[in-house]
Amino acid sequence: MIVCLGNTLLKEAMLNKDVQELLKVQKLDKEIVKLNGEIEKSQKKAEEKETKVKVQTNNVETLRKEIEELLEDKKFKDELLNESVENLKKLEEKTKSVTTEKQFSAINTEIEISKTNEDMLEEKLLSIIGSIEEKKKSVQEAEASLNSAQKEMDTLKQTTGGNINQIKKNINEIEKRKKILYKDIDVKIIKGYEELNRWTKGTSIVPVKQGACYGCFMKITPQTFTTVKETNEIVFCPNCGRILYYPENEEE
Ligand SMILES: [Zn+2]
Go through the domains of the chain in sequence order and give each one's CATH number.
3-202 (1.10.287.1490)
Beta carbons of 234 and 19 less than 8 angstroms apart: yes
What's the pTM value of the predicted model, to 2 decimals? 0.75
What residues contact 121, with CB distance under 8 A and at least 6 apart?
77, 80, 81, 84
Angle at 99 between CA 96 and CA 102, to 5 degrees: 110
Alpha carbons 245 and 235: distance in angstroms, whole number: 8
- What spacing in Å lies between the alpha carbon of 181 and ligand 1's midpoint? 25
- What spacing in Å lies between the alpha carbon of 207 and ligand 1's midpoint? 10
- What spacing in Å lies between the alpha carbon of 177 and ligand 1's midpoint? 28
Q: What does each C-alpha distance from 159 to 43, 108, 246 come to in angstroms?
A: 11, 76, 44
- What spacing in Å lies between the alpha carbon of 190 and ligand 1's midpoint? 19
- What spacing in Å lies between the alpha carbon of 213 and ligand 1's midpoint? 5
Give, for 245, the enclosing helix (H) or strand (E). strand 243-245
Angle at 181 between CA 175 and CA 187, to 5 degrees: 95
- What spacing in Å lies between the alpha carbon of 187 and ligand 1's midpoint? 23
Reading the chain (252 residues) residue by residue, the pLDDT tens digits are 334 444 444 455 578 899 999 999 999 999 999 999 999 999 999 999 999 999 999 999 999 999 999 999 999 999 999 999 999 999 999 888 888 999 999 999 999 999 999 999 999 999 999 999 999 999 999 999 999 999 999 999 999 999 999 999 999 999 999 999 999 999 999 999 999 999 999 999 999 999 999 999 999 999 999 999 999 999 999 999 999 999 977 554
Classify 243 as helix, strand or coil: strand
Alpha carbons 83 and 94: distance in angstroms, whole number: 16
What does residue 70 show for φ and ψ, rounded to 5 degrees? -65, -40
- What spacing in Å lies between the alpha carbon of 244 and ligand 1's midpoint? 8
Alpha carbons 65 and 138: distance in angstroms, whole number: 13
Region class of 129: left (phi > 0), else alpha (psi between -120 and 50), else beta: alpha
Alpha carbons 250 and 229: distance in angstroms, whole number: 11
- What spacing in Å lies between the alpha carbon of 193 and ligand 1's midpoint? 14
Alpha carbons 122 and 76: distance in angstroms, whole number: 12
